[in-house]
Structure 1
Amino acid sequence: MKYPVAIWMLAIGAFAIGMTEFVIMGLLSNVARDFGVTVSDAGQLITGYALGVAIGGPILVMLTIKWNRKYLLLALMLIFIIGNVAAAFSPNYGVMLVSRIITSLAHGSFFGIGSILAASMVRPEKRASAMALMFMGLSLSNILGVPFGTLIGQNLGWQMTFIIIAIIGLIALIGIVFFVPMTREEVKSSMLNELRILKEKELWLTLGITLFGFSGVFAYFTYISTILMNISHVPEHFISAMLIIFGVGVTLGNIYGGKLADWNLNRALQIIFITFIVYFVLLYFIQTNPIVMVVGIFLFGFIGFSMSPSLQLKSTLVSQDAPTLASTLNQSAFNLGNALGAFIGGIVVESLPLQYLSLIAPILTAIGLILLSINIAINKKASREA
């Protein structure tokens, strides 16, 4: 089946958003050097972005619940472009941080609304594939966009990276204008209907699993370029190649993680969490070897991001009555996990030798595993009593 051009335009938007979120990891040392701040301080640019997604996304959803979806997508892409242009021309660290927060406001709502629109443009039996096509832009941003942006930033300055991201955002904006159809149907959701989901205790427990389970990934990944250069002793000009390898791992992890989730959702998460915790310990010993880390960085991306489909699906299953807010809250949980991981990672980098980060990060994932075990026990008890 040929998919509408509009879905490809949404995929380009997803690519740009994924690129602006993740490319900062590869440029952290460069940004810190130019602004005269520590790498730990520069890491808060990641924290600020994640918090903007987590807090700003749900607020935007509530404020725009009655908006036409096409107009909302256009507004979100405009915010995204302005934020990236502001980042490119930031005169100091403070302005850079504010620009990152502005950019982040487009993130959660774009994926929530965009996926709903993508599904509405195809036959019912193809909706999952249409949504997957849109999210493929996010996966490709890790394989192509982040390494390319890192390479540009290291050779032409990180400012040029954000200018290029803004241009990609502009292409997506123009594509949405011309190809995304104007939805005429009445919006059935209301603020009250969407807010009712907040009373569900299982939703909050599930979001907690996402938050802590995924935060272990970002505790280490936030400082990946610094680790590769200072611990693994990988030359700076090879960092972009290493990030390509990481991106391939991320994409394959998403694919096979989804297959594992289809088999048994909770069991899949248990296997992935336990495997990831054990792998972090192994990472402590192999991260000093640049050759072994070629495989190590691939496995880190593969295992870490294989949990994403399971966490996404688990959140969806407990929130079917409020799809817009639920999908955005799930993005919030992911990004709060990113922020928590970056924050904890920053504390470790400031107080301990950098190599110990691989032993501290899995503690966060272990908390996610504990919450998952509690969730499984509660569901089993409810099933017995039913």
Structure 2
Amino acid sequence: MKGLVLAGGSGTRLRPITFTSAKQLVPVANKPILFYGLEQLRDAGVVDVGIVVGDTAADIEAAVGDGSAFGLQVTYLRQEAPLGLAHAVLTAADFLGDDDFVMFLGDNLIEGGLGDLVAAFERDRPAAQLLLKRVPDPDRFGVAVLGADGTIERLVEKPADPPSDLALVGVYLFTSAIVDASRRIVPSARGELEITDAIQRLVDDGLPVRASQVSGWWLDTGKKDELLDANRVVLSTVIRRVEGEVDAASTITGEVVIEAGAVVAGSVVRGPAVIAAGTRIVDSYVGPFTSIDRGCVVERSEVEFSVLMPGCHLRDVRRLEGSLLGRDVRVVRGTRRPSAHRLLLGDHSDVELAEGS
């Protein structure tokens, strides 16, 4: 069985972060989202993996390389434009050949891995095996309607009036029949070749299409709040490990990872939290569900429920929470008069100022 990881989207919902970085490389608990999926494929015994890339191909290739660091053999497949998931399948047709494959969206996270799912598919070999999850907002997703026997009867992509609350999770298992089905569909009203239409073609052809419901968490990290929630969930699984330098004036409480090369001085860190190598936390408070990446400096500041990407600098920041800071962001309290907020913001930035600040 092969793997097909989709990493070609532009990440418009995470701008301005994704103006300078692929959305699949935005970190969760200080590790790029994409890496979790690659590790789950490897752990399920899937080592021959194609990664579909687009405009951010150089970033993806620089981060993943030839895949050997993950125990994988990686082939990069350039998609001409983000024209739908079924179009991505057609882009990968030569790579896939007649092999079965797992397709994984590179900005999704699921709990529990893929091992049991892959084993069940290899045992039974339906034309397709889909993962479903009940969601409160099914109009944002492809949704499935199940028959009395639990097999899939109908699929609809982002319906205005959802026929069910069962969303398609970003993990699919297919035989090569999906390649032929993808060739026999037409673009949707969105101008894309929808994977839901291709799977519906399998259903209409009378081929077995099965569904499994995700019992644990599934996280789609396409927006800032979703990414922060993913960070919260993953941080909830960390195990305390303090290898960096922590002085006697500091207090470390709960499940906290402080990597070797990090420095914590005169500060309070309450887990779950992760502080990467090369970062300095001085006279500050780091609260739960916060991940601080490499080379950051936090001085006389408070930060909680946030993600700081590499090279960020906070100084004299009274309180920062629910925030996602991109690489090399600098947030400081100014001393110039008159007192005012002085901002340099890129396109699509989102700033919320505290009342009275």
Bigger RCO (CA 8 Å, 6+ sep): 1
Q: From the CA coordinates, give the structure whose radius of gyration is larger.
A: 2
TM-score by shorter chain over 0.5: no
- Per the normalisation by structure 1, the TM-score is 0.26
Structure 1 or 2: larger strand share?
2
